[in-house]
Amino acid sequence: MNVACPSALLPCISVSREVTRPLLGRAAANGALSAEAIDAALTLAALRPSRGESRDFAVRALRFAGVLSFAAGMIFLVAFNWDALALYGRFALVELPLLAALAFAFAKGTDHAPGKLALLFAVLMTGALLALFGQTYQTGADLWELFLAWAVLTLPWAVAGRYAPCWAVWLMVLNLAAALYGESPAGWSRWLAPFALDLTAYLVLEIFPVRWLRRAVMAAAMAFGTLVMIGLIFDFRGTTGLVASLEILLFLAASAALGGFAYTRKNDTFAFAVLALAWVAVTTSLIGRAMERAHAGVGSLFVIALYVIGASTGAIKAILYISRHWQAESGRQ
Amino acid sequence: MTFEELHHALAERQLISVSEPLVEPAAETHASPWFVQAFAGAAAWIAGILLLAFLAIEIGDALAKRPGGFLLILGILCCFGSSILYATLSERSRFADQFALAMSFAGQFGIAFDLGEHFGAKGVLWGMLAVEALLVVGIGNQLHRFLSTVGVVLAWALAMHQALFGDFTKAAGAASESGTLSVLGWLLVWTPVLVAAWWLVRHEPEWMARGWEMRVRPIVHGLIAALAIAPLAMHPVTFWNSLLGLQGTPTSAALWPLLAALLALPTIALAFALRHRALLGLAILFGLLEISSFYYLLGVSLLVKSLLMISIGAILFLAGQWQQRARS
């Protein structure tokens, strides 16, 4: 089936593409399809969820929302700080549901949703248990240590669960630990730790087939990296020369590595959009700061606006070019 | 499924003639995934603010000497210029596309500022409702139409809130006076939006068959995105109060996020029906935000809140189990 040349720079190829809603809509615009035919096409091409899929989705959503609400309720219960309950009673309130969840996951196995959700519940309850422990015994530990302990203790369950939402919760806990560490007197750069952490997590998550989690981690990494760079440009933190050099180096290396990695993988242009946004933000801050120092006046606003438009245009063109290039390559293969 | 396979399947069902080929459309040179559109929108939004700031400061002296309405005229000119750019150059030039979006944002900000200065909050809200509706009709670019649709719903929600409950900046509005009135008012605002989105999703094959894909699709997506995001507009201050931990929000204001969280359910269903993951994620995210806001504002003890969450959690989980059993 013929496809028009996607770009003057690329050769024309013959490829039959997957039916998508926009493509079907454009095919229908030629008048070739009646409403009944489109109705059938939406079902045949699985562009509309079947009754069974809708039910599965509802079941998953109900279970997931149920576990989240139950776990949040248990955490609130601990936070209520019962005076009426004795020490053992308070711990039992958290530990019994935690043990029950682990026993349930062990009995049911972690290949199916109930077992996975039980482990997610256990991960959340461990946080409540550690908070209760810290509250009761006044351990004097920093907050970041609590979150780090939470992440370390629950790692085996996250591994056993092989469940993307559970990994997402676990990574959020670890990110909080890293961010709080950066903020603490012991930390030497606020956002560097979560930046480095998410970059590492992104590499590890390559073994995962869940695209949304990889994308989220990658976006979080570059968001932290961008914050690091903007902080340096506007000198918010008075960072020392060595740390600043390390931060810049890491941002440059991460951008190059992520871009190169995405380009060789040839399966997702999301990384380019994130990198483009990060770089537009950083370079715009740099230009703004330079113009402010040079007392460039009001005209600088216009220049920066034009720069933002120009840079984002260039980035979008590049992303779409790469996307079409990949399509053409896969068509040739 | 490829177009070729679809053609066979439709021909088998006698929904298309065997001899009549199903022409696969040419590659869309301007089609871009949602994250690229989000990036384009964010960049244009920043550029739009900078452009308007530049224009406002640069012509500030002239503005001070001229009669009222100068910024309004400037805004209208920006929007008009943007529509011309879209109509003439944007198909050929990405830069023109981005510049037109930024110009349109600058124009909209300008119009809103001027209306606010001369007619107050009521003028801005109803005026922007009309402006956004005009932009939905007048500018055919898909991203712009999507954003304008969100703008229409946002302006509609705020304008109606202001009309029904008075000053929309008040923490709770009439929620503290009459729960029934609040619910009725809320339904008056959101029922038309929800019904419109539902109707368009339900009649999708009909408007697709008429060749309205490019015209209607961004409106459908805009309505669903607005149903996810814009309920915040019905309780702007209560939401931020709860998020930032500010004091002084009455507990009756918890009604707003509760209603908004309930609205997230059909919104999620609509996004799922279109298999649109970005919209689905947006609806879930904002639904969770509304639920957090509800619990924060609920003026009961932590014990009651926790028991409520545990009970609801148990009910939801059991309902899920029951559904699964019924299925299998």
Residue-wise DSSP of B27-66: P-TT---HHHHHHHHHHHHHHHHHHHHHHHHHTHHHHHHS
- Nearest residue of B to residue A13 by CA position? B27
Tell whether the torsion through CA atoms of B23, B28, B29 and B33 is positive or negative: negative
pLDDT tier, B54 (very low <50, low <70, confident <90, very high otherwise): confident
What whole-number distance in Å separates Cα of residue B271 and Cα of residue B264?
Answer: 10
The answer to whether residues A285 and A300 touch, using CB atoms and an 8 Å cutoff, is: no
**Per-residue model confidence (pLDDT) at position A29:** 77
The answer to whether residues B148 and B219 touch, using CB atoms and an 8 Å cutoff, is: no
Q: Which two tokens stand for residue A106?
A: 């062990």
- Closest in A17, A38, A79 to B208, CB measured: A38
Residue B288: other Cβ atoms inside 10 A:
14
pLDDT tier, A7 (very low <50, low <70, confident <90, very high otherwise): very low
Residue B180: other Cβ atoms inside 10 A:
7
Mean pLDDT of B38-42: 86
* DSSP helix/strand/coil, B275: coil
Residue B14: other Cβ atoms inside 10 A:
9
The answer to whether residues A63 and B65 touch, using CB atoms and an 8 Å cutoff, is: no
pLDDT at A11 over 50: no
Site from A12, A120, A309 to mutate, B interface, most B CB atoms within 10 angstroms = A309
pLDDT at A174 over 90: yes
Min CA distance, A187 vs chain B (Å)? 26
Summary mean pLDDT of chain A: 86
pLDDT tier, B173 (very low <50, low <70, confident <90, very high otherwise): very low
Residue-wise DSSP of B148-199: HHHHHHHHHHHHHHHHHHS-TTSSSGGGGT-HHHHHHHHHHHHHHHHHHHHH
pLDDT at B25 over 80: no
Mean pLDDT of A193-205: 91
Tens of pLDDT, residue by residue over A202-248, are 988 887 778 889 999 999 999 999 999 998 888 766 666 788 888 89
Mean pLDDT of A124-149: 87
The answer to whether residues B248 and B241 touch, using CB atoms and an 8 Å cutoff, is: yes
Interface membership of B265 toward A (CB under 8 Å): no
What values do phi and psi take at A2, rounded to 5? -80, 145
Mean pLDDT of B16-42: 74
Of A129, A150, A82, residue with least CA distance to B307: A82
Mean pLDDT of B145-165: 91
Write down the residue that tokens 């920043």 correspond to: B46
**Per-residue model confidence (pLDDT) at position B174:** 45
Tens of pLDDT, residue by residue over B96-148, are 888 898 899 989 988 998 898 888 888 999 999 999 999 999 998 999 999 99
Interface membership of A292 toward B (CB under 8 Å): no
Tens of pLDDT, residue by residue over B256-270, are 888 899 999 999 999
What values do phi and psi take at B157, rounded to 5? -65, -45
Tens of pLDDT, residue by residue over B62-81, are 655 556 677 888 889 999 99
- Nearest residue of B to residue A50 by CA position? B273
- Among A175-184, A219-228, B220-229, the range scoring the smallest mean pLDDT is A175-184
Residue B179's contacts (CB-CB under 8 Å, 6 or more residues apart) are B252, B255
Cross-chain residue pair B1–A305, CB shorter than 8 Å: no
What whole-number distance in Å separates Cα of residue A76 and Cα of residue B37?
Answer: 40
Of all residues in chain A, the percent with pLDDT exceeding 70 is 91
**Per-residue model confidence (pLDDT) at position B28:** 56
Mean pLDDT of B290-300: 85
Site from B82, B104, B208, B321 to mutate, A interface, most A CB atoms within 10 angstroms = B208
What whole-number distance in Å separates Cα of residue B167 and Cα of residue B177?
Answer: 14
**Per-residue model confidence (pLDDT) at position B63:** 58
Tell whether the torsion through CA atoms of A329, A22, B154 and B180 is positive or negative: negative
Cross-chain residue pair A308–B31, CB shorter than 8 Å: no
Give the relative orientation of helices B94-138 and A299-332 as an angle to the nearest 10 degrees.
Answer: 100
Interface membership of A284 toward B (CB under 8 Å): yes
Half-sphere exposure of A12 (CA within 13 A, CB side): 6
Three-class SS string for chain A?
Answer: CECCCCCCCCCCCECCCECCHHHHHHHHCCCCCCHHHHHHHHHHCCCCCCHHHHHHHHHHHHHHHHHHHHHHHHHHHHHCCCCCCCHHHHHHHHHHHHHHHHHHHHHHCCCCHHHHHHHHHHHHHHHHHHHHHHHHHCCCCCHHHHHHHHHHHHHHHHHHHCCHHHHHHHHHHHHHHHHHHHHCCCCCCCCHHHHHHHHHHHHHHHHCCCHHHHHHHHHHHHHHHHHHHHHHHCCCCCCCHHHHHHHHHHHHHHHHHHHHHHHHHCCCCHHHHHHHHHHHHHHHHHHHHHHHHCCCCCHHHHHHHHHHHHHHHHHHHHHHHHHHHHHHHHHHC
Q: Is the pLDDT higher at B166 or at A289? A: A289
**Per-residue model confidence (pLDDT) at position A182:** 85
The answer to whether residues B5 and A3 touch, using CB atoms and an 8 Å cutoff, is: no
Please report the residues numbered 62 through 81 in chain A whose beta carbons come closer than 8 angstroms to any beta carbon of chain B. Answer: 62-63, 65-77, 79-80
The one-character DSSP state at B1 is -
Cross-chain residue pair B313–A48, CB shorter than 8 Å: no
The answer to whether residues B298 and B251 touch, using CB atoms and an 8 Å cutoff, is: yes
The one-character DSSP state at B68 is T
Write down the residue that tokens 């003026």 correspond to: B299
Of all residues in chain A, the percent with pLDDT exceeding 90 is 48
pLDDT at B192 over 90: yes
Of all residues in chain B, the percent with pLDDT exceeding 90 is 36
Mean pLDDT of A96-115: 92
Please report the residues numbered 191 through 210 in chain B whose beta carbons come closer than 8 angstroms to any beta carbon of chain A. Answer: 204-206, 208-209
Residue A162: other Cβ atoms inside 10 A:
14
pLDDT at B23 over 80: no
pLDDT at B320 over 80: yes
Measured CA to CA in angstroms, residue A250 lies from A218, A245, B322 at distances of: 14, 8, 51
B196-200 own/partner pairs: CB under 8 Å, 24+ apart: B196/B223, B197/B223, B197/B224, B197/B227, B197/B267, B197/B270, B198/B266, B198/B270
**Per-residue model confidence (pLDDT) at position B11:** 82
The answer to whether residues B97 and B47 touch, using CB atoms and an 8 Å cutoff, is: no
ipTM confidence? 0.80
What whole-number distance in Å separates Cα of residue A100 and Cα of residue A103?
Answer: 5
Q: Which residues pair with B2 in a beta bridge?
A: A18
Please report the residues numbered 212 through 231 in chain B whose beta carbons come closer than 8 angstroms to any beta carbon of chain A. Answer: 213-214, 217
Write down the residue that tokens 């809320």 correspond to: B186
Min CA distance, B146 vs chain A (Å)? 15
